[in-house]
Amino acid sequence: MEKQQITNDAKRRCYQCFAEIEPARMRNHVGEHTLKAMCGVPETLQGQHIALFEFPCGFCGRPERLCAASTLTKGINGSTPQARSECPYYRLFFYQPSLKSSAATPSTNVPVICKIPECKAEKGGNWSAVWKYNLREHILRFHPTYSLETAGSDGLIPLPPAMLHDMHISDEEEHGLKILKDCIPYKSPLPTLEPEASTSTSTSARTGAHRAKRRRTQKGG
Ligand SMILES: [Zn+2]
Ligand SMILES: [Zn+2]
Ligand SMILES: [Zn+2]
């Protein structure tokens, strides 16, 4: 009488390499394929290659349009937010510890909330989320007026500092996911985070300050 879903403990076949993976290891496994694609590490795959511009699902690696978008629960009453998805490979994981790379689970690819003002939206009682490894592509596509450089030399709006932290991939994570040394990108130092600086007033103040700075730069050049 019930619909035949994938049994919780059955191994899952990776859409990229066809390996049979323990359900609890799937997110990390797909994270490795995705980060390799991001860093340009060549892979010989029997299945589909990761298409970064298609926002690959962090549970199965397929384009979001063929799978599902992730959300984050609101963490009401002090509970930790948790990731949700309709992906058939979805598996609940402990969200908070997954934000940090570990030897057992190097990948920190988890759904996060985009911190650019007015991007966050409600979806089925949760918050709309973006997979960490897809944030770069998300900014390019949906927030083209924002800068992906920490140096801010391109004249675009700097990202909220907390978002740079959300996007950060550590050396430990790259090593853990077998990124070849030559493929590891240069990382600018992360800005220090001001405590609780996320009100709309402080955001517009920051944008104003940036505009002034840009005018000065233009005058100089
Ligand atoms: Zn695989
Ligand atoms: Zn999926
Ligand atoms: Zn956004």
Q: What is the distance in A from the centroid of ligand 1 to the CA of 16?
A: 5
pLDDT in tens, 72-83: 999 888 888 999
Cβ proximity of 128 and 71 under 8 Å: yes
- Which ligand approaches the C-alpha of residue 6 most closely? 2
> Residue 6: inside a domain, yes or no?
no
> Residue 7: inside a domain, yes or no?
no
What average pLDDT does the chain have? 87
Average pLDDT over residues 61-67: 97
Q: What is the distance in A from the centroid of ligand 2 to the CA of 88?
A: 6
Q: What is the distance in A from the centroid of ligand 2 to the CA of 66?
A: 8
> Residue 28: inside a domain, yes or no?
yes
pLDDT beyond 60 at 166: yes
pLDDT beyond 90 at 26: yes
> Residue 49: inside a domain, yes or no?
yes
Residue range(s) defining the domain that contains residue 205: 12-189+196-220
> Residue 213: inside a domain, yes or no?
yes
> Residue 5: inside a domain, yes or no?
no
Neighbours of 130 (CB within 10 A): 25
For the chain, what is the domain count?
Answer: 1
- Which ligand approaches the C-alpha of residue 85 most closely? 2
Report phi then psi at 101, rounded to 5: -70, 140
Q: What is the distance in A from the centroid of ligand 2 to the CA of 87?
A: 4
pLDDT at residue 214 in the model? 43
Q: What is the distance in A from the centroid of ligand 1 to the CA of 80?
A: 29
- Which ligand approaches the C-alpha of residue 145 most closely? 3
> Residue 178: inside a domain, yes or no?
yes
> Residue 33: inside a domain, yes or no?
yes
Q: What is the distance in A from the centroid of ligand 2 to the CA of 61?
A: 6
pLDDT at residue 212 in the model? 41
- Which ligand approaches the C-alpha of residue 142 most closely? 3
Q: How confident is the model at residue 1 (pLDDT cuts 50, 70, 90)?
A: very low
